Chains A and B, each alone.
Chain A
């Protein structure tokens, strides 16, 4: 059993699980508490569209995926604010636009589309050392942002209008969070895949949200659930010889289910008449 740990691709997969899972877990808390759950889907499809055009134009697909993803992040926030939309509406608009661009790109690719489709499905077992290094850098960046901007992030997550009224540069913080979210999604495309990363951003923080009223603890638990989902998913996919991305997501959903069942927040106090 343990002899598989000597393989380089398994070591890379474990590192990607730890750092990718933690990043998605922390970023997911922002996404859940800002009530913009579909931002993950929009970003992942933007990255997918970017990667396809990268392949078409013979430019590094990862660079193009990052470019598309970050451009989307920079459009979603200001569009919601300028047009006075709910951010979910501007996310929907960006999602439909990037989906159209992705399909256009797919249509233009001649021959087999395997290279493009790997951004949709991802495979944690085939990622490169460079991908792992990027995931580690990303995880540390998110950790630093979460520590040094904790109070501003907490205020923005609580209420954007109140954050503005006390003199916090709320828009800047909000756009920055979207930007980091886009970057996280892009860098995890190879690991989990564009379609499944949405679940890894939503399930761990939703599970953590069931357990405590302390935001710092939610960040910690969500990162742990993200890492656990990836590691357990990787383990089960090896045991049962099934696709890793799918098992990672099923594991994260099961963790959420357990947290929901045992949530202290859902306990109903019984009334006893004397």
Chain B
């Protein structure tokens, strides 16, 4: 398996606050890695380091075997789909769902070039895969939070990425939308086998396709390994600073605070 992402001794600082403390992590092609940890652990910063949106203070990041530098960053980003946390969209913003999904193609098309018929087909198939084709002409600001997240996923898929970065896509959603979205992420992984990094702080949101887990706390990776070994009460209790109980409900392993 090829090393797709190589993070070596990376430190990220937001002035007074050190978000990542000398972390190292390698991810192989086809991995589905969930990054879990409490709020403020540095999970989102870890994602932004991979696509170069976050500025590193020291260390190095290689994606597809290439170091991220100013001259190649835009080219590398065209191969990385990034779904950020809930977007705050003005309901009257003049952009339709289809136009938002099309944005995923713009980096690949390049400056001054127009979108081709083939690009339009890729946009259509991304919307179909995510199940938002019938929303295509609606203004994105008129959709529910769950639908907007699906549009974001379709926009990332329209890039035809080799890596998908998903930053807490289930936050701000109701339970039904959360379940639908997790199932969708699972389905996309099974169909496309994209190297995926999924960030969440809710253990029950980890998709079933996930094969590896990164546990983060206060800017450090405290554990990295297989999903089965990660579901350990002692390890997770230490991560969240509260007693965590692991239960098995109809074959699905759930980890939640003991007092629930």
Contact = CB atoms under 8 A, between A and B. Distances in A.
Contact of A158 (B75, B93, B109): B93
Contact of A168 (B51, B74, B155): B74
Nearest to A167: B107
A165 B51 contact: yes
Interface in A12-64: 33
B162 to A, nearest CB: 13
A148 B110 CA distance: 11
B129 to A, nearest CB: 18
A164 interface: yes
Interface in A211-257: 212-215, 217-218
Contacts of A168: 74, 106-107
A50 B114 CA distance: 39
B95 interface: yes
Interface stretch (B78-86, B178-186, B201-209, B234-242): B78-86
A168 B113 CA distance: 12
Given A161-B53, A166-B104, A167-B74, A151 B109 contact: yes
A163 interface: yes
A212 B108 CA distance: 29
A162 interface: yes
B94 A215 contact: yes
A209 interface: yes
Contacts of B159: 166
Contacts of A218: 94
B100 interface: yes
B155 A148 contact: no
Contacts of A265: 92
How large, as a class, is the contact surface on chain B? Answer: 20 to 34
Interface in A133-190: 148-149, 151-152, 154-155, 158-159, 161-169
Contact of A159 (B51, B78, B87, B104): B87
A162 B93 CA distance: 15
Contact of B103 (A148, A149, A163, A215): A163
B30 interface: no
Given A161-B84, A165-B51, A168-B107, A148 B78 contact: no
B243 interface: no
Given A158-B103, A166-B106, A168-B74, A213 B111 contact: no
Contacts of A165: 51, 53, 77, 80, 82, 84
B137 to A, nearest CB: 9
A151 B98 CA distance: 13
A123 B171 CA distance: 55
B74 A169 contact: yes
Interface string B35-55: 000000000000000010100
A149 B112 contact: yes
Considering residues A149, A158, A169, which has the most beta carbons from chain B within 10 angstroms of its beta carbon? A158
Interface in B217-243: none
Given A148-B112, A166-B78, A155 B94 contact: no
Nearest to B91: A265
Contacts of B96: 213
Given A148-B112, A149-B111, A151-B115, A166 B92 contact: no
A212 B104 CA distance: 24
A151 to B, nearest CB: 5
Interface string B133-149: 00000010000000000
A263 to B, nearest CB: 9
Contacts of B53: 161, 164-165
A167 B75 CA distance: 6
Interface in B57-80: 74-78, 80
Nearest to B15: A84
A162 B155 contact: yes
A49 to B, nearest CB: 32
Contacts of A215: 94-95, 99
Contacts of B51: 165
A158 B77 contact: no
A158 B92 contact: no
A158 B103 CA distance: 10
Contacts of B112: 148-149
B81 to A, nearest CB: 8
Given A163-B103, A166-B82, A215-B94, 7 more contacts: A154-B103, A158-B100, A158-B103, A162-B84, A166-B77, A212-B94, A213-B96
A-B interface, 6 closest residue pairs, ranked by CB to CB distance from nearest: A167-B107, A167-B78, A167-B77, A165-B82, A166-B107, A167-B74
